[in-house]
Amino acid sequence: MITLRGGPGADGSLPPLKLPSRPPYNEVSRDLRPRLTCMVCLVAQASRLCKMQAAHCQIRNASRRREKEKMIISVGTKTPYATIFSDGKREATCDTSLEKGGSGSGFSPVDLLEAAFACCLNITLRRYADQHQIPLSEAKVSVSLNRDNPEQTVFEYGVELQGDLTAAQRQKLMEQAASCTVRKTLSKQIAFRSSP
């Protein structure tokens, strides 16, 4: 069971999330055809940079085979436990902490889950403000995943609104939290199904 809680009185903010557009791949081979890029990887496979490039090649080729399907593809690298994920157009790196044996080179999977809700809520608030000419100068959203109860997952969040806003405008903005796409998705019954 998943619960989201938070509201107008919550305090807290997150620093700007800046996911890298791509890991530090070889700039020379980046624009080559997939086959040539993979040959470069094979020739210099002892290089850590090339290992990351090899993972990039796997993701790009898999993405092209499934370009008509909307999905995220992840491929592990030789660096424990750095993982490259992509939607076929953009790429970023995920990892686990040093304490868990990772290299700490990217956001953890739980970080990304929290970020999905935080970013979706932030975008929802700003879009609503733009559409209704509300003078919202900045919106900060903080999200923390509370898993203390093994039977319940709680997304605790806080929202900070800045700008010359009236009480009514603030209330309207906070009401939009319920219309956030990620929140609505997580609030439904969730199932997992593997594909062949």
Is-contact 6 158, C-beta < 8 A? yes
Q: What is the pLDDT of residues 87-140, one digit of tens each?
A: 999 999 999 999 999 988 999 999 999 999 999 999 999 999 999 999 999 999
Amino acid 10: pLDDT: 44
Angle between helices 167-175 and 109-131 (to 10 degrees): 130
What integer is the mean pLDDT of 30-50?
A: 47
Is-contact 81 95, C-beta < 8 A? yes
Amino acid 2: pLDDT: 61
Angle between helices 48-65 and 34-43 (to 10 degrees): 150
Amino acid 52: pLDDT: 59
Q: Which band of pLDDT confidence, cut at 50, 70 and 90, is reported for residue 195?
A: confident
Beta bridge partners of 54: none
Say if residue 14 is exposed, middle or buried (CB neighbours under 10 Å; 0-12, 13-18, 19+): middle
What integer is the mean pLDDT of 161-169?
A: 97
Catalogue all structural domains in the chain, each as residue range(s) with its CATH number.
2-16+109-187 (3.30.300.20), 34-100 (no CATH)
Could you identify the residue written with the tokens 């020739």?
Answer: 43
Amino acid 131: pLDDT: 96
Does residue 190 surpass a pLDDT of 80? yes
CA distance 38 to 109: 27
Does residue 35 surpass a pLDDT of 70? no
What integer is the mean pLDDT of 13-31?
A: 43
Amino acid 108: pLDDT: 95
What's phi and psi for 113, nearest 5 deg? -65, -45
